[in-house]
Amino acid sequence: MELYIKAAPDGKSVGDCPFAHFVRAVLETKGLDYKVYPCCKETKPSWLLDNHQGKMPCLRNGDDIVTESSVIVDYLDETFADSKIRCENDIQALEATSGIFPALARFIKKTSFDEELKTNLTAELKKLDSYLSNCSGPFLCGDKPSLADLSLAPKLYHLKTTLSEFYPQCLEEMIPAGVSAYIEKALSIPAVSKTSYPREVVLAGWNAARQ
């Protein structure tokens, strides 16, 4: 299998896309063999540009070509069903955490501090804290990481990295203790840590978005 993803600023190494990170974490969790092709605008293959609007992440498995991270993960779970990573509460967990990354993006992309955007992101993190308090284990679906954790962990890596860089004075106020503890657990999931990328790559992506 081949996975085409956003490249880092050097045009060659793995970039900062949390959605590609999610797909790679799923591939690692399932123990599947795949090769990563980091691409920039100039190095995307012609078939990806001509037939799939250049969308990434893009998975190519033989004749099957799939784009969009959620669709790719569905494909992987159906095609390689021997190692299911879903749990019965994944949909509920995904819904409960779906607002975090959009709220983070709005807050960080604005170059000047915005109290309302900070409040909105804090509310989403409090929602996660409330959800975690009702979980039966350290992860969103219990004792073991599942699809929801693999989806959320890369976004929380961006959260931790950007807040510590741009608004370090807000970290303690914005991130509840339960969420902070969960972030450390989520980023320590082997499939997540193995497929991660340097802090400076994350910041390069957001600095470009803030210009």
What residues are labeled active site?
Answer: 17
- 58-61 β-sheet, strand order: 35-39, 2-6, 58-61, 64-67
Tokens matching residue 128: 């996660």
Question: How far, in Å, CA of 186 to CA of 182, rounded?
Answer: 6
Cα–Cα–Cα angle for 202, 67, 185, rounded to 5 degrees: 45
Stated as kind and residue range, the H or E segment containing 65 is strand 64-67
Q: Report the 10 Å Cβ neighbour count for 61.
A: 17
At 163, the amino acid letter reads: L
The residue behind tokens 């931790």 is 160
Specify the DSSP class assigned to residue 61: E
Return the sign of the alpha-carbon dihedral for residues 163, 165, 170, 176.
Answer: positive
Q: Residues 164, 108: contact at Cβ < 8 Å?
A: no
DSSP structure class, residue 169: G
